[in-house]
Amino acid sequence: MRQQVDTVMVEQRAASFTRRSIKTESKTQGLRLALSMIDLTTLEGKDSDEKVRSLCRKAITPWEGEITPPLPSVAAVCVYPSLVAIAKRALDGSGVNVASVATGFPSGQFPLSVRLDDVTKAVEAGADEIDMVINRGAFLSGYYDEVAEEIKQVRIACGDAHLKIILETGELETLENVRAASDLAIEAAASAGPIADGEVFIKTSTGKISPAATMPVTLVMLDAIQSYFDKTGVRIGMKPAGGIRTAKQSLHYLVMVKETLGNDWLTPTLFRFGASTLTNDVLRQLVRQHTGRYTANFDFSEA
């Protein structure tokens, strides 16, 4: 049975998280936490080995200046399957994970056999995490069993790799569809076998469709995660991706997570930002708090 969503109430509640007052010390802690939750991503046709290696260097050491205490590394680097091996070598021993988009990213329209092969090859190359896309056409056409079976098969193909399920919420049209897709994705992943905390995420977007992540959409997905936790005691992860560009926005999202799911989810093992452009603004704010002055944009490498 579909969970009904009161769109007006969701939008009002999401907006309320942007009006919280945050003290300077808490803001600094929040920005450091946000930095540790970022998945640095490059998903362009012109991606090269050197571009991936450069991104990995930034992932390990987001800023090369001196700051006390040292800044954390980001959570992961996300690349196409063909570049997983390059990223794996570059990140060896760093603690930064390698994520790979697979399953016919970004459309999810490829034959299932091709998508599963995509996953298998990425995992064999060393991917710690797989970011899959659901077939939105099938979902919007009401072929829910088909979508669920594909998610189940992808999770099986992941083996020990963690799975992030991209709903591409900008194409789902309504918040009720977002909630239905969230519930379906979680249950389908669980049908492949028991889920450990953080082993499965639901993710808003590929970053290729507008709108991408929004606070109302993310709130609906967080509520689905809370419902599943209430029912099973299992913590599903959450990843808003695309459109989160400022440090201030990242703090709004962290407030929403804290007040919706609690402190347990305030960790990179359960919450991520898919927002490479966010990185430099977070760094800029942290350096300003440390030095008392703003740095120029060129003081930071491209994310």
Per-residue confidence (pLDDT) for residue 142, from 0 to 100: 96
Instruction: Find the DSSP H helices in 41-170.
Output: 49-60, 84-91, 112-124, 136-140, 144-158
Q: What is the pLDDT of residue 297?
A: 59
Query: Among residues 22, 13, 98, 104, which one has the least CA distance to residue 56?
Result: 98
Catalytic option among 118, 131, 223, 281: 131
pLDDT given at position 125: 97
The series of mean pLDDT values per 10 residues for the chain, 303 residues long, is 90 96 89 97 94 97 88 97 97 97 89 95 98 96 97 98 97 97 98 98 93 95 98 98 94 97 98 92 89 63 60
Q: Which residues contact 74 (CB under 8 A, 6 or more apart)?
A: 35, 36, 37, 38, 39, 40, 58, 59, 62, 96, 279
Domain boundaries, the chain: 39-242
d(CA 56, CA 75): 11
Catalytic residue flag (residue 208):
no
Among the listed residues 39, 128, 203, 281, the single catalytic one is 203
Q: How far apart are CA 142 and CA 147, in angstroms?
A: 9
Q: Tell me how far apart the alpha carbons of residues 18 and 33 are, in angstroms, rounded to a whole number.
A: 18
Within 10 angstroms of residue 223's Cβ, the number of other Cβ atoms is 18
Query: Residues 58, 88, 164, 239: which is the catalytic one?
Result: 239
CATH 3.40.47.10 describes domain 39-242: no
Does the active-site annotation cover 203? yes
User: Residue 150 is encoded by which pair of tokens?
Assistant: 């594909």
pTM to 2 decimals? 0.94
